[in-house]
Amino acid sequence: MNRLVIEGGTPISGEICVQGAKNAVLPILAATVLAESECVIKNCPRLRDVDKTDLVLEGLGCCVRRDGNTVTVNPTGLCGCSISEDLMREMRSSIIFLGAIVSRCSKAVVSMPGGCPIGQRPIDLHLKALRELGVEIVEEHGYIYCTAPEIRGADIHLDFPSVEVTENIMLAAVRGNGTTTIINAAREPEIVDLGKFLNAMGARISGAGGSVIRIDGVEHLHGTEFTIMPDRIVAATYLAASAITGGEMCLKSVRPRDMSAMLKVLRDMGIELKVGNGEIIQRVSGPLRNIHIVRTMPYPGFPTDIQSPFMALASLARGTSVFVETIFENRFQHVDELVRMGADIKVEGRSAVVRGVERLQGANVVARELRGGAALVVAALAAEGITVITGTEYIDRGYENIEKYLLACNAKIAREP
Q: What positions carry a catalytic annotation?
A: 116
R_g (Cα) of the chain, nearest Å: 21
Nearest alpha carbon to residue 305 among 261, 348, 343, 345: 261
Compute the C-alpha angle 230/233/289, nearest 5°. Answer: 130
Q: Give the SS3 label for residue 84.
A: coil
Provide the angle, in degrees to the nearest 10, between the axes of the packed helices 370-382 and 307-314. Answer: 20
- Which sign does the torsion angle of CA 280, 283, 288, 289 carry? negative
Largest pairwise CA distance in the chain: 63
Q: Give the SS3 label for residue 41.
A: strand
* Single-letter code of the amino acid located at 144: I
- Which sign does the torsion angle of CA 238, 333, 191, 23 carry? positive
Q: How far is the C-alpha of 330 from the C-alpha of 355, rounded, in Å?
A: 21
**Taking a C-beta distance cutoff of 8 angstroms, is the pair 44, 226 a contact?**
no
Q: How far is the C-alpha of 387 from the C-alpha of 327, rounded, in Å?
A: 30
Q: How far is the C-alpha of 114 from the C-alpha of 11, rounded, in Å?
A: 37
Q: How far is the C-alpha of 166 from the C-alpha of 170, rounded, in Å?
A: 6
Element (H, E) at 237: helix 232-244
Q: How far is the C-alpha of 152 from the C-alpha of 215, rounded, in Å?
A: 11
* Residue 319 CB-density burial (10 A; 0-12 exposed, 13-18 middle, 19+ buried): middle
Whether residue 300 is preceded by a cis peptide bond, meaning omega within 30 degrees of 0, is yes
Q: How far is the C-alpha of 413 from the C-alpha of 406, rounded, in Å?
A: 7
Neighbours of 176 (CB within 10 A): 23
**Taking a C-beta distance cutoff of 8 angstroms, is the pair 183, 210 a contact?**
no
φ/ψ of 140, rounded to 5, equals -155, 125
